[in-house]
Amino acid sequence: MSQEVIETKDGLKVRKLIDLRPTTAKEYQDAIIKRVDYFSKRRDSVFNDMAENIIVQGLQLGLQAKIKIDELLGDNKDKIHDVVEKLLFMGL
């Protein structure tokens, strides 16, 4: 595959295809797959894992707290929900 590399003002290098052969599609497909692999590996950074873990753990703690509160309230849960809703609607 013949190509010409052109450098822009920003320092970005652009490849310009000069001729087209039957194997060009396969070569570009392989290049795209390599780029996808490269960026998927870059995503596996410590920061991304840490941020995702913090979010998931926060949601987990919130759901566990709701379950514990519902267990503590027991049968009074519906009555307390009604009182809270009435208080909220009075404020509006």
Per-residue b/e over 11-23, b at no fewer than 16 CB within 10 Å? eeeeeeeeeeeee
- In terms of phi and psi (left: phi > 0; alpha: psi -120 to 50; beta: otherwise), the region of 74 is left
Residues 52, 25 share a domain: no
Residues 58, 22 share a domain: no
pTM of the predicted model over 0.85:
no
What's the pLDDT score for residue 44? 63
Residues 59, 86 share a domain: yes
What's the pLDDT score for residue 45? 62
Instruction: Domain count for the chain, please give it.
Output: 2
Residues 18, 15: Cα–Cα separation, whole Å: 9
Name the residue range of residue 60's domain: 46-91
- Amino acid identity for residue 92 in this structure: L
Residues 51, 24 share a domain: no
Residues 87, 50 share a domain: yes
- List the chain residues with pLDDT less than 70: 1-3, 17-21, 42-48, 91-92
What's the pLDDT score for residue 74? 81
What's the pLDDT score for residue 20? 64
